Amino acid sequence: MTTRILLLSFYYPPDLAAFRVEAMVEALLAHPGGEVQIDLLTTHPNRYATSYTADSADPQRPGLCITRIALPRHANNFCDQAWGFTAYARGVRQAIKGKAYDLILASSSRLMTAALAAAIAHTRKTALYLDIRDIFVDVLPELFPGIRGKVLARLFAVVERLTINQASRVNLVSPGFLAYFVERYPHKTFSTFTNGVDDAFFKPPLPQGPARAPTDRLKIVYAGNIGAGQGLEKIIPPLAQRLADSACFSVIGHGGTLQKLRDELQRLQITNVELIAPRPRSQLIDDYQEADVLFLHLNTFQAFLKVVPSKLFEYAATGKPILAGLAGYPKHFATTHIANASVFTPADLEEAIAALARLKLEPTDRSAFIRDYARTTIQQRMAVDILGTR
């Protein structure tokens, strides 16, 4: 008997930061417990305004039907994102008319994709599985200080409660989320299938670049989103200024605070930081290979004391030294599980300098970490959990 699944994910490859959902789809299609038919409703690539396309096509394959919903162009600010999600929700409602499903599945970071799935599940009285990748309510008061953030947090707390209560099963991408959700929803049982290391970094092992001469400047690479969640403008400019004679930085990505970072670099007249547009993953692997140190930073928000950045898994798989501005659970995860990862308090320049000095500037064998956190294996276990939902 075929299990008919409606899968909602705002992003999906070739869009950036959507590899978790792609691995989830592959695991569900490969699951030996019976046939599945997945209707995946997503958007055309739009993570950044510079990556927007309206004509992406997906190859047809058995068991998977991908419908991409066109969005208006955006400048990656909050209002544009809200308007874009409205277009997505309208497209989803239109696409599912007259179709029946056995299970609704949603992978969601900013809550609203999960809320849309919950509303559909409630209307259709269908089982719902949620994959929660962030605590949106937690970050709003810090993202929008003052009365606006408090009002938004109260509003979205209601949305969150209705959404989680509707779910048959809920997965949390970080074990650090457990305390928050268990306190608020003690009647629910939560799984914690985390992010993981993708096959691109798993087999074959990432080759190492040429040996670095002692007189060479360190090449420090950051790759990822440049937004309020990363707060790069708080640490990259002063760190680069302090290390002007001994290090150069490559910052690869885009996001809502890129201009803040650019302005701060100009204000301090920094010349050893290169800002590079987002690259395909195949090119990123080359950038990682050429780096001496990989850099990661989360902003000083209380909400980020609970997350585990997906980038940590990617960085760890390279065997490169990792310099990371982390606190709370992500600090615990990095220091406990990732060898040669040196952690400092976010936005603390002096700690960052000290943490860099502690790194061993040589390749590190992290084969045990790669084995334990292979995304394929994690998603195979998650597929069993999803298909057991009723």
* Collapsed DSSP state (helix, strand, coil) of residue 277: coil
Quote the pTM value: 0.89
Could you tell me which residues are beta bridge partners of residue 67? 41
Q: What is the CATH number of the domain that holds 29?
A: 3.40.50.2000
Contacts of 57 (CB under 8 A, 6+ apart): none
Asked if 273 and 301 count as a contact pair (C-beta separation under 8 A), the reply is no
221 and 359 part of one domain: yes
Q: What is the pLDDT of residue 142?
A: 87
Structure tokens at 351: 């700690």
- In the chain, the largest separation of any two C-alpha atoms, in whole Å, equals 67
Residues ≥6 apart with Cβ < 8 Å to 250: 219, 220, 221, 222, 273, 274, 276, 287, 291
What pLDDT is recorded for position 32?
85
In this structure, are 127 and 23 located in the same domain? yes
Residue 76's pLDDT is what? Answer: 59
As a whole-number percent, the residues of the chain with pLDDT over 70 amount to 91
Q: Distance between CA 205 and CA 208 in Å, rounded?
A: 9
Give the mean pLDDT of the chain: 91
DSSP state of 70: P
Model confidence at 388: pLDDT above 70: yes
Q: How far is CA 120 from CA 6, 8, 93, 242, in A?
A: 10, 11, 8, 53
Show the domain range for 190.
3-196+374-387
Q: Within this chain, do residues 290 and 223 fall inside the same structural domain, yes or no?
A: yes
Residues 27 and 72 in one domain: yes
Among the listed ranges 46-50, 62-66, 265-269, 370-374, which one has the minimum average pLDDT value?
A: 46-50
Mean pLDDT of 89-106: 96
d(CA 213, CA 239): 22
Residues 132 and 59 in one domain: yes
In this prediction, residue 82 carries a pLDDT of 81
pLDDT at 212 over 70: no
In terms of Cα–Cα distance, which of 120, 80, 88, 82 is closest to 104?
Answer: 120
Are 107 and 173 members of one domain? yes
The pLDDT of residue 280: 85
Q: Which residue has the higher pLDDT, 361 or 206?
A: 361
Instruction: Examine the domain organization and report whether 144 and 287 are in the same domain.
Output: no
* 127 three-class SS: strand
Asked if residue 338 and residue 248 are part of one domain, the reply reads yes
Number of structural domains in the chain? 2
Same domain? 341 vs 305: yes
**pLDDT confidence of 19, banded at 50, 70, 90?**
confident
322-325/341-344 β-pairing? parallel
Q: Residue 56 in contact with residue 83, Cβ under 8 Å? A: no
- Nearest C-alpha neighbor of 310 from the set 193, 171, 196, 226: 196
Helix axis angle, 19-30 relative to 375-387, nearest 10°?
60
What is the radius of gyration, based on Cα positions, of the chain? 21
Residues 158 and 243 reside in one and the same domain: no
From 50, 8, 45, select the one nearest 275 (Cα to Cα): 50
71: three-class secondary structure by DSSP: coil
Contact yes or no for 160/136 (Cβ under 8 A): yes
Tens of pLDDT along 332-349? 999 999 999 999 999 999
pLDDT given for residue 118 in this prediction:
98
Does 210 or 59 have the greater pLDDT score?
59
Spatial separation of the C-alpha atoms in residues 79 and 98, rounded to whole Å: 32
Tens digit of pLDDT for each residue in 291-312? Answer: 999 999 999 988 899 999 999 9
Helix, strand, coil fractions of the chain, as percent rounded to 5 = 45, 20, 40
Three-state DSSP at 325 gives: strand
Decide if pLDDT at 206 tops 60: no
| pLDDT of res. 200 | 76
Task: Give the Cα separation of 186 and 161 in Å (integer).
Answer: 12
Contact assessment for residue 186 and residue 164, using Cβ atoms and an 8 Å cutoff: no
The rounded distance, in Å, linking the Cα atoms of 123 and 125 is: 6
Interval 52-90: pLDDT, tens: 455 556 777 899 999 999 998 655 566 777 888 999 999
| Residues 167 and 214 both lie in one domain | no
Kindly state whether residues 219 and 184 are assigned to the same domain: no
SS3 143: helix
